[in-house]
Structure 1
Amino acid sequence: MSKVAVVTGASQGIGAATVAAYRKLGYRVVATSRSIEPSGDPGVLAVPGDIADPAVGARVIDAGRAEFGRVDTLVNNAGVFVAKPFTEYTGEDFDRVVGVNLRGFVAITQRAVAAMLEQGGGHVVTITTTLAERSTAGAPAALAPLTKGGLNSATKALAIEYAARGIRFNAVSPGVVKTGMHPPETYDALAGLHPIGRMGEIGDVTDAILYLENASFVTGEILHVDGGQSAGGR
């Protein structure tokens, strides 16, 4: 039986590329986002929904198990980033960021882990950000480290909690990646934030996800894919 990966935030950018990457590995994939469209690939099940709604996470995992019979990997890619000075954050900003980045993570991961325990193992990969450890003065965004830093810590805690039960937990911590979030006219300035002198490419992140997928002796790892940002420098 083919393995099954669930990918959140799967309609574009890193999420869409992750779906394609797992298909190339022969996985069947459950792809979810608010705007996901049905796929013509019978190996991809599209499940629309807002991950901030706790009912959606359960529905996605249940749909994947009903369609494909199992869940082997969960990639928590969905995330919200709101950059503004701390005192300008609104209650709506807070609810939106926490709803997707934390509540959504908890709901779908709980359901996925329950399925993995029944199967005897699995893998959870969460996309965080280097901003959780190294902030940039010119780009205030305190809700990012508040939430994504928590996901880094939870990754380590869950890796220990489930190590003896066959479930690995890892995270990929990117720098600034070329996605639709950033207009091309900002690329030169954003490249300068990385000691290596360029922005990240989507493929850099999917390569890291697949490395962790195949690294059976790696758990509790926060894998930095950030052009050297986390090491220091610029």
Structure 2
Amino acid sequence: MKNKTVIITGASSGIGKGIAKYFIEKKSNVVMNSSNLENLKEAYQDLGSPTNATYLAGDISKKETGQKLVNLAIEKFNSVEVLINNAGVFSPKPFLEVEDKDLELYWNVNLKGTYFASQAIIPHMIKQHNGAIINIGTVLVEHAIDGFPATAPLTSKGAIHSLTRQLAAEFGKNNIKVNTIAPGIIRSPLQKKIGVEDADSLAGLHLLNRIGEIKEIAEAAYYLASANFITGETINVAGGHTAGHSI
């Protein structure tokens, strides 16, 4: 992946920032995106303002943002090989309390963001007959938990899992690989945002009896970005969460 160009959405904090850091250290060219310019600029500076990275703030649910990211990648680094659709929002809420505005939020940011960014980059991948798209889903799509009601965000994430397979089918002939990473419980700022004060208390949800680290998601993303014979797959990076529980 050295000198290859990677667009990462939702890169100002948490998993997205960790993925950006990993690729930057591996000498990839990185285009970072987030909706908040101040947070994005701070993240870029925190990573050392690397010369092999740049950033562009914008609402990823807007079609033009994806196009601007692709244009910036080509203008700055003369190529674009990888898209990592990490931007997303997630919060539990009982099914009977979900309102229209909740569904709009998750479908706009999670699904439309992934959809439109992919739509912007695929024409360039077709031209070069090569590319990788990595979507971020969740193990909860296939492994529901009674005590964590999150139908609103999960339906959008489930749609992303389905989108992954369909894009892999449509563009496999163009040598475009499309896969999903489904994280388990990861030590990130998201946990406190959704009300989990002690993320380690959820270790028993994983057979390895610990929660995951951001770097472990970044390692999976790096592997999929360079893998040439994997497409249409959902890779669970979840310590055995979908196989069973350690309680």
Q: Which amino acid aligns with 1:230?
A: T
Q: Deviation of residue 194 (structure 1)?
A: 2.0
Counterpart in 1 of 2:97? Answer: 88
CA–CA separation in structure 2 for the residues paired with 1:79 and 1:13: 11
Counterpart in 1 of 2:198? Answer: 186
Q: Which amino acid aligns with 2:200?
A: D
Q: Which amino acid aligns with 2:232?
A: G
Counterpart in 1 of 2:65? Answer: 56
TM-score (norm 2): 0.89
Q: Deviation of residue 58 (structure 1)?
A: 1.4
Q: Deviation of residue 155 (structure 1)?
A: 0.9
Provide Cα deviations, 1:180-222, integer angstroms capped at 9, x if missing partner.
Answer: 1123732233222223211111011111111212321111111
Aligned with residue 75 of structure 1, among 81, 84, 87: 84
How do 1:93-108 and structure 2 match up within 5 A?
Answer: 93-108=102-117
Q: Secondary structure, in 3 states, of the residue corresponding to 1:99?
A: helix
Q: Which amino acid aligns with 1:80?
A: V
CA–CA separation in structure 2 for the residues paired with 1:2 and 1:228: 34
CA–CA separation in structure 2 for the residues paired with 1:196 and 1:143: 29
Q: Which moved more, 1:106-115 or 1:54-63?
A: 54-63
Counterpart in 2 of 1:150? Answer: 159
In structure 2, stretches of 5+ residues that fail to align are none
Q: Deviation of residue 86 (structure 1)?
A: 0.7
Aligned partners of 2:185 and 2:199 also within 8 Å: no
Aligned with residue 224 of structure 1, among 233, 236, 244: 236
Summarize the Cα distance change of 1:19–1:124 in structure 2 as closer, same or farther, 3 Å threshold. same
CA–CA separation in structure 2 for the residues paired with 1:6 and 1:15: 10
Q: Which amino acid aligns with 1:12?
A: S
TM-score (norm 1): 0.94
In structure 1, stretches of 5+ residues that fail to align are none
Q: Deviation of residue 22 (structure 1)?
A: 1.2
Q: Which amino acid aligns with 2:173?
A: A
Aligned with residue 177 of structure 2, among 168, 192, 206: 168
Q: Which moved more, 1:22-31 or 1:168-177?
A: 22-31
Q: Which moved more, 1:18-27 or 1:167-176?
A: 18-27
Q: Which moved more, 1:78-87 or 1:187-196?
A: 187-196
1:200 aligns with 2:201: no
